[in-house]
Amino acid sequence: MKFSSAISFLLVGTAAAFAPAPVSQRSSSALFMAEEGEIKPLRIGTRGSPLALAQAYETRRRLIENFPELEADGAIEICVMKTQGDMILDKSLMELGGKGLFTKELDTALLGDEVDICVHSMKDVPTWLPEGTVLPCNLPREDTNDAFITANGEIKKIADLPDNSVIGTASLRRQAQILAQNPTLKCVNFRGNVQTRLRKLDDGVVDATLLAIAGLKRMEMQDCATAVLDWDEMLPAVAQGAIGIQCRSDDERSLKYIDALNHMDTHICVNCERAFLEALDGNCKTPIAGQARIVDGKILFRGLIAMPDGSVKYETEKTGAIEDAVKIGKEAGEELKAQAGDKFFEMMVEMSPQQVLGQLTK
């Protein structure tokens, strides 16, 4: 099978690469000494999927590069936890209640002092953060585009799929843009980690699927992609390809560490995109796409909202000074909100999951 070897290699590699270093009961570094004299490790909270673990260990690597004392045994602890979104895979995100499903348990652990920092895929993070927490750090961003993956590897564009082809995706954003190109295509709810989705594709459950190329690259699985779609064919999700690190707002120690990791260009673009999403009051019922990039010292932003069936689509492009990034994102969201009108958003709220999705779970 086409993807079986890549999946098996990833799973074996994951076990070795992500195995935690042994924890020592003593450390010579004063940075990790609690009042009682025991080691006080920097505890990193993360989900347990291979992609989430790859991002947590990428964070660990960068921390050690910037603070060599963190290489000591027991200096960093990876704390894996399951979120509700990880445990319930037979329903769409919309039916379950939104993206906070991938962050609530991590938020609770952070506020309960069970972890010191949380590593997130930024596109899973709601535009609001729990009181007492901040998200001041984004690591350098990966390629933000979507990968298009077909079972035979021959069809490289959505427009070239035969009529009535079945595409696996849990994303309304992707569904709307797919159906806008060809309304005969059928999108089926397709959840689970990257390995699960590729296995389903390999088994012939669907004809094609889409995944963020960033996640495939972070797991060294980019060769699974048939093609990488540009913005004109598939505008990515807000904050796609970005890793964010959250901590308690009064935790000076954690703030010192993660401030050193922040990649400012990524942080600026992500804040622009999230301002766009916040202005639209975006949720998992509304197909929304938004991307910013810095070109020649200016912010370039593109945004889109659509009906789930792709029949109606509103788009905007804006450019401006980097220091106005948040303002540009907010104004773009307000512009599309005005274009679409109240009725558009009322329809989104009133629609049942079945009406919005028109999907079967595979």
Q: What is the DSSP string of 257-319?
A: HHHTT--HHHHHHHHHHHHHHHHTT--TTS-EEEEEEEETTEEEEEEEEE-TTSS-EEEEEEE
**Which tops the pLDDT comparison, 31 or 190?**
190
Q: Are strands 166-168 and 76-80 parallel, antiparallel or unpaired?
A: unpaired
- For 220-232, what is the mean pLDDT? 95
The rounded distance, in Å, linking the Cα atoms of 146 and 236 is 6
Catalytic-residue membership of 207: no
Q: What percent of the chain has pLDDT over 90?
A: 68
- For 298-308, what is the mean pLDDT? 96
What pLDDT does residue 141 have?
Answer: 97
pLDDT at 257 over 70: yes
What pLDDT does residue 5 have?
Answer: 54
pLDDT at 88 over 70: no
Question: Could you tell me which of 108, 59, 55, 118 has the C-alpha nearest to residue 84?
Answer: 108
Q: Are strands 146-150 and 117-121 parallel, antiparallel or unpaired?
A: unpaired
Over the stretch 307-333, which tens digit does the pLDDT of each residue have?
Answer: 999 999 999 999 999 999 999 999 999
**Which tops the pLDDT comparison, 154 or 6?**
154
Confidence of residue 278 (pLDDT cuts 50, 70, 90): very high
SS (H, E, C) 255-269: HHHHHCCCCHHHHHH
Tokens of 34: 């609690």
pLDDT at 282 over 60: yes
pLDDT at 258 over 60: yes
pLDDT at 101 over 80: no
What pLDDT does residue 345 have?
Answer: 85
Query: Are the beta carbons of 245 and 118 closer than 8 angstroms?
Result: yes
Q: For residue 306, give the amino acid letter.
A: A
What pLDDT does residue 167 have?
Answer: 95
pTM score? 0.85
Q: Mean pLDDT for the chain? A: 86
Q: CA of 331: how far to CAs of 80, 135, 271, 316, 317, in Å?
A: 38, 22, 13, 10, 11
Mean pLDDT is highest, among 49-53, 151-155, 167-171, 300-304, for 300-304
Mean pLDDT is highest, among 8-12, 37-41, 87-91, 334-338, for 334-338
pLDDT at 17 over 80: no
What pLDDT does residue 194 have?
Answer: 83
Question: Could you tell me which of 40, 22, 16, 20 has the C-alpha nearest to residue 30?
Answer: 40
pLDDT at 290 over 80: yes
The rounded distance, in Å, linking the Cα atoms of 307 and 311 is 6
Question: Catalytic pick from 86, 107, 116, 124?
Answer: 124
Q: Which ranges of 69-155 would DSSP assign to H, the alpha helix?
A: 84-87, 93-96, 104-111
pLDDT at 352 over 70: no
Confidence of residue 116 (pLDDT cuts 50, 70, 90): very high
What pLDDT does residue 212 have?
Answer: 95
- Cα-Cα end-to-end distance for the chain: 19
SS3 55: helix
- For 176-205, what is the mean pLDDT? 90
pLDDT at 58 over 80: yes
Any idea which of 167-181, 317-331, 343-357 has the lowest mean pLDDT? 343-357
Any idea which of 8-22, 186-200, 248-262 has the lowest mean pLDDT? 8-22
